[in-house]
Amino acid sequence: MLVTGAGRGMGAIYARRAVEGGARAVSLWDVDADAAQRVAASLERPGVELEVRRVDLADRDAVQGAALEVLERFGRVDVLVNNAGIVRGAPFWEHDPERDIETTLRVNTLAPLWLTRAVLPSMMEDLTRPKRILNIASAAGTLANPNMSVYAASKWALIGWSDSLRLELSRGGHGHVAVTTFCPSYVSTGMFAGARGPLLTPIMTPESAAAAAWGGMLRGAPLILRPWTVKLAMALRGVLPVRWWDAVAGTVFRVYSSMDHFTGRPERTPAR
């Protein structure tokens, strides 16, 4: 198994679930190698090989090089979890073109594409066991929200790619490789510190969110939306005129004000 953003939050939980589920080898990627090393130390078990890699997912060469090294060491990847992500919560015009816009798209969107492209051929070729790809997107990729324009763009793109990949694999006769897209609302990992859940949408714990994603991935479910209000909002947005939906989302569900008090993680703790 290979999981990105494994040094904290849901990434660490996915690594733990893999070990508890009988994984023989887990590669933990994070830009914060010390955090990932602490997670690995807590997961040490007889017969389980754990490795930590410091990888800056904004660097394509680093991603591709590390992926090649993993394949050389372990031979294959049975489960890939594209979990790492970053968020910049501000009006679009306050985003720095390189630090905020380009880096967000590289980490949240391009890195999963680069990494999956690197390991997918070996997954397709190996028919000895089912393969799984879990892409962690966001409810922000299904509904527009003020102060999340670049983050939302990165997740909308991730969702479109992830589900298209699922269809391509199915049509291409590679049904043993299942792709699951997970779209949660706010999760209390610290990444969205200060954000408030919309009406009837509690902020989920990392454990509950990871459990939903992990279970869906094991089943090979195409799309997991949590909590249930994410699916409701998608349905309402689909049937209501845009201005009506704006009124409902803004004044009733309070979606559009959910990022008004966003602070996020301190810059000194890398998020990807």
Question: What's the mean pLDDT in 172-199?
Answer: 94
Q: What are 54-88's pLDDT values in tens digits?
A: 999 999 999 999 999 999 999 999 999 999 999 99
Residues pairing with 134 in the sheet = 81, 180
In the residue annotation, 14 being an active-site residue is answered as no
**Which pTM does this prediction carry?**
0.94
Helices 111-125 and 149-171: crossing angle, nearest 10°? 10
Instruction: Return the structure tokens found at 222.
Output: 């195409």
Selected catalytic residue, list 14, 151, 186, 256:
151
Q: What is the pLDDT of residue 265?
A: 76
**Rounded Cα–Cα distance for residues 30 and 109 (Å):** 16
Q: Taking all residues of the chain, what is their mean pLDDT, rounded to a whole number?
A: 95
Cβ pair 89, 262 in contact under 8 A: yes
Percent of the chain with pLDDT over 70: 97
